[in-house]
Structure 1
Amino acid sequence: MSTATSGTSAASSGLSTGSGVRRADRARLVVQPAAVILIVGAVLIWALTRHNDATEAQTLNWPTLLSGTWQHLLITVAVAAIVVAAAVPLGMILTRSWARPVAPVFLTIANIGQAAPALGMIVLFFLWTNWEGFWCAVLPIAFYSLLPVLRNTIVGIDSVDRSLIEAARGIGMSSSGVLFRIEMPLALPLILAGLRTSLVLAVGTATLAFFVNGGGLGELIDTGYKLNRVPVLVTGAVLAVGLALLVDWVGAVLERFFGPRGLS
């Protein structure tokens, strides 16, 4: 009797803990963007309404701030598109039996891309191609952000229960059918988690785009630092942090609403 009671208590405790985690996740979906809006809004009001000198006024104005934020967002979106277009199909291919021997090679290359200093990669790409501007920043940042999506795609597909795959093949489903109708849907939560990490990496690394004339909020941070203008530095940094938190929130929303319902 006591054993049964203990088992029931443990199950109830587990359910309670799971419910608490889900409630916390739901609360975060509301609190996180609200906090970002409040903090960023307060900093913008302070920066734009204070008495700025001529140098600060050239930077702390709506056109400049909106332009820098828009450029930063475009870099992030372009990086995310490249990462998804490259990492997800590559991860799918590397989980096939005939491609598994070369999977460690691609993972090692992706690991090198993330382990290397982001600024060094951007500068080396600039020196190698003699490019500058938007794409000179986007391509090395995409390489830097590739690993989480590639690794999670491979791990997500490999973690699918083999009995489900065998059952699907047993009813005559083709290999491509198993991949797209069984493996990929079940791997989607892990893939989305990897994409969320890549997005945050892209936002943070995009502050370095100004080194190759790629634009973004890094220009504000650099200007504030070099000219010793604290309001400009703080505004650029807060906008970059706020954008990273909003992108992380978007990733959480994607995980919640596009992941399989039965796994949430």
Structure 2
Amino acid sequence: MSAPTSDDTTTQPAVTEEYHAGHRRSLAGYLVMPGVLALACLVLYVYVSQQELDSIEARSLNAATLTGALWEHVQLTAVSTVLTLLIAVPLGIVFTRPFTRPIRSYLITLLTLGQAVPTIAVLVLLAVVFLFLGFWAAIVGLVLYAIIPVLLNTMVGLEQVDKAVLEAGRGMGMARFTVLRRLELPLAVPVILAGVRTALVINVGTATLVTYINAGGLGDVIVAGLSTNRVTIQIVGAALTAVLALLIDYLAGIAEDLLRPRGL
């Protein structure tokens, strides 16, 4: 397997359709997804209410249990994504600086190979070797898994900035940091935000696995259904995870539209 170069990364950015379209969606476009998700939740509620639940199912599917698991899942996703941004964006900036060019491809290869390790393996390693359990152990695993999309998109976004724009900024007397802050990062925002959306969806799905290290989330509901062979519980846990992933991606899309510099 050959090490990817910086040119390789520019061919596979996680850029959304809205970015290619170059314009914000209409009001109707913003209302479609909430309507679909609300309908999905209604169908799920009707399905569960028509089932004759036994004591185990009733205990797992009551409002308090589901709300608590959903809130834990949101916390896991939010905290891990914030930490991912704090790590990946500065790393992406550093990796696009000229002094890292000789080792850049090797660093990216190392990080990509690290992402290839299954998340459950990382969580088990934390639990067995380091006796690291609970919320923060889950955060470590989620950050390690989600860092690559944000890192690569940060690099792609910065490398796609027109060099003539940067030269014009330097010609106006801007320092390197000023060029980065006022020109490079704003112009790279659409691609970086696309990577953030990818990381958010990855974290929502991967967070279902942290139940195995006692970190909570909707994975508790799914595993409860699996361990007791209750299909209804499994369906509810999986459906809520899917709805949450779509909702977070939708909200991230709105943020992407609002934060995109005008004219891009």
Deviates more, 1:152-161 or 1:98-107: 98-107
Cross-structure match for 2:3: none
Cross-structure match for 1:6: none
Cross-structure match for 2:117: 116
Output the CA distance in 2 between the equivalents of 1:39 and 1:245: 11
Output the CA distance in 2 between the equivalents of 1:20 and 1:82: 30
Output the CA distance in 2 between the equivalents of 1:19 and 1:122: 37
Q: What stretches of structure 2 of length at least 5 have no aligned partner? A: 1-18
Cross-structure match for 2:171: 170
Q: Normalising by structure 2, what TM-score?
A: 0.87
Structure-2 change in CA distance of 1:102 and 1:29 (3 Å): farther
Instruction: For residue 33 of structure 1, report the CA deviation from its aligned partner.
Output: 2.0
Per-residue CA deviations over 1:60-98 (Å, capped at 9, x if unaligned) read: 101100000001110000110111000001111111111
Structure showing greater relative contact order (alpha-carbon pairs closer than 8 Å, 6 or more residues apart): 2
Output the CA distance in 1 between the equivalents of 2:20 and 2:133: 50
Contact 1:141 1:202 in 2 (8 A): yes
Contact 2:24 2:257 in 1 (8 A): no
Output the CA distance in 1 between the equivalents of 2:116 and 2:20: 37
Instruction: For residue 202 of structure 1, report the CA deviation from its aligned partner.
Output: 0.3
Contact 1:92 1:153 in 2 (8 A): yes
Deviates more, 1:128-137 or 1:146-155: 128-137
| Matching of residues 241-252 of structure 1 within 5 Å | 241-252=242-253
Contact 1:78 1:138 in 2 (8 A): yes
> Are positions 1:238 and 2:242 aligned together?
no
- Number of residues of Structure 1 aligned to a counterpart in Structure 2: 246
Cross-structure match for 2:8: none
Cross-structure match for 1:130: 131
Output the CA distance in 1 between the equivalents of 2:26 and 2:119: 31
Cross-structure match for 1:141: 142
Q: In proportion to residue count, which structure has more helix?
A: 1
Deviates more, 1:167-176 or 1:247-256: 247-256
Output the CA distance in 2 between the equivalents of 1:158 and 1:70: 38
Output the CA distance in 1 between the equivalents of 2:28 and 2:135: 37
Instruction: For residue 20 of structure 1, report the CA deviation from its aligned partner.
Output: 8.5
Instruction: For residue 212 of structure 1, report the CA deviation from its aligned partner.
Output: 0.3
